[in-house]
């Protein structure tokens, strides 16, 4: 029997400014774009909204500026069911902005993202100090690297001390201390980030080489990480740890509209499924189906599906790892 989990997200808010074009410009070149739009996002806020739309109880900790973008982003998260009462406002700094260049061709869409963190980077340890005594009431805490690293390390340590599951989504890529890794129950790099950190690549010439996955996983375990999740694009994803190695295939959609929030959607769905009561392998499949819907839509937060939509796709694709009807407990 699944249950509604209680998830804490400590992370960023970013207003995404999205310019679509059929070809990205070269240095010094100007091209005519197809479309421009804005969409609320930020890795932390995306993950919080995705967890909430999948049925989790979610509290978001972060910071926005005292401006229109900040209000739009917090209002959007609140409308999705996220508790934003712990989101602070910096009256002297603008809200974070993500500039996204989306190159759309007949082969799909590729993005290039530049982040201007704004108020996200003025959040202080004092602002989050209340978590040291209250973090134990959550089932899991999710963090990314769009906040000051000292906050990520402190919150991870508090959660670890309290026996709370810690998910570190190491994006944008940044150096990680042994102190932080030792607090991570899960870490979720992509295949390239994992190879750099472990100093060993994963071969995929003839399908995923699981011996390589095991070596990479052991490299992380030696630094204190309990479980490693690796997203591998068209080769699917794996979770490796004390329960062995589980793999799920990439769930392909007829049309790829925007991959911007795919990673956030995936890790949020995995965390929701896991803390709701799904085993690792089934939580991985739940995450893959969730992210597949996300990439088929435009925008970050607007693209994130509800649990009902994920149930529909699981049934449509004939998934048998668990009964999609079990997800009714999250509604």
Query: Does the structure show a pLDDT above 90 at 256?
Result: no
Give the Cα separation of 116 and 61 in Å (integer).
19
Contact 263, 254 (CB under 8 A): no
Q: pLDDT: is 108 or 36 the higher one?
A: 36
- Report how far residue 329's alpha carbon sits from residue 307's, in angstroms, rounded to the nearest whole number: 10
Query: pLDDT tens digits for 276-322?
Result: 999 999 999 999 999 999 999 988 898 999 999 999 999 999 999 99
* 6-10/140-143 β-pairing: parallel
What separation in angstroms does the CA of 147 have from each of 44, 111, 187, 262, 264? Answer: 9, 22, 17, 20, 15
User: In the predicted model, what is the mean pLDDT of residues 158-185?
Assistant: 95
What is the reported pLDDT for 115?
Answer: 87
What's the whole-model pTM score? 0.92
* Token representation of residue 120: 């996200």
Q: What confidence score (pLDDT) does residue 81 get? A: 97
What's the CA gap between 88 and 86, in Å, rounded? 6
CA distance linking residue 115 with residue 58, whole number of Å = 25
For Cα atoms 74, 75, 79, give the angle at the middle one, nearest 5 degrees: 115
What is the residue extent of each domain of the chain?
6-14+41-96+117-330
In this prediction, residue 110 carries a pLDDT of 84
DSSP, collapsed to helix, strand or coil, labels residue 208 as coil
Q: Residues 142, 9: contact at Cβ < 8 Å?
A: yes
Interval 174-189: pLDDT, tens = 889 999 999 999 999 9
Structural Rg of the chain based on CA atoms: 19
Tens digits of residue pLDDT in 205-238: 888 999 999 999 999 999 999 999 999 888 999 9
d(CA 14, CA 46): 9
Q: Domain 6-14+41-96+117-330 has what CATH class?
A: alpha beta
Query: For residue 172, is pLDDT > 90?
Result: no
Q: What percent of the chain has pLDDT over 70?
A: 100
Q: Is 61 helix (H, G, I), strand (E, B) or coil?
A: strand
Catalytic residue of the set 264, 312, 323, 328? 264
Using the predicted structure, report yes or no on whether residue 15 has a pLDDT greater than 80.
yes
Active site residue 264: yes
Number of other CB atoms surrounding residue 215 within 10 Å: 15
**If you search the block for the tokens 């999705």, which residue do you land on?**
80
């Amino acid at each position: 029997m699944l249950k509604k989990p209680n998830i804490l997200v400590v992370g960023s808010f970013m207003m995404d400014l999205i310019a679509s074009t059929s070809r990205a410009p070269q240095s010094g070149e100007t091209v005519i774009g197809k479309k421009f739009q804005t969409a609320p996002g930020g890795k932390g806020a995306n993950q919080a909204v995705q967890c909430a739309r999948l049925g989790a109880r979610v509290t978001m900790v972060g910071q926005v500026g005292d401006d229109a973008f900040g209000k739009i982003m917090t209002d959007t998260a609140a409308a999705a069911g996220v508790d934003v009462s712990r989101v602070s406002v910096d009256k002297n700094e603008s809200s974070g902005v993500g500039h996204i260049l989306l190159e759309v061709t007949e082969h799909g869409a590729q993005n290039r993202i530049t982040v201007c963190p704004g108020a996200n980077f003025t959040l202080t340890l004092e602002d989050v100090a209340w978590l040291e005594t209250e973090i134990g009431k959550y089932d899991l805490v999710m963090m990314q690297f769009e906040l000051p690293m000292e906050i990520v390390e402190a919150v991870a340590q508090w959660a670890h001390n309290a026996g709370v599951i810690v998910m570190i989504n190491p994006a944008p890529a940044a150096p990680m201390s042994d102190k932080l890794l030792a607090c991570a129950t899960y870490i979720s790099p992509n295949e390239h980030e994992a190879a750099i950190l472990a100093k060993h690549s994963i071969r995929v010439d003839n399908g995923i080489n699981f011996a390589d996955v095991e070596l990479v996983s052991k490299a992380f375990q030696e630094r204190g990480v309990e479980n490693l999740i690796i997203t591998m694009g068209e080769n699917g994803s794996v979770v490796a740890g004390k329960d062995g190695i589980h793999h799920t295939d990439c769930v392909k959609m007829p049309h790829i509209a925007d991959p911007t929030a795919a990673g956030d959607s995936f890790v949020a769905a995995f965390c929701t499924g896991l803390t709701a009561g799904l085993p690792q392998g089934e939580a991985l499949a739940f995450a893959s189906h969730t992210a597949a819907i996300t990439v088929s839509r435009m925008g970050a937060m607007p693209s994130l599906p509800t649990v009902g939509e994920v149930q529909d796709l699981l049934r449509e694709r004939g998934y048998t790892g668990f009964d999609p009807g079990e997800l009714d407990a999250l509604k």
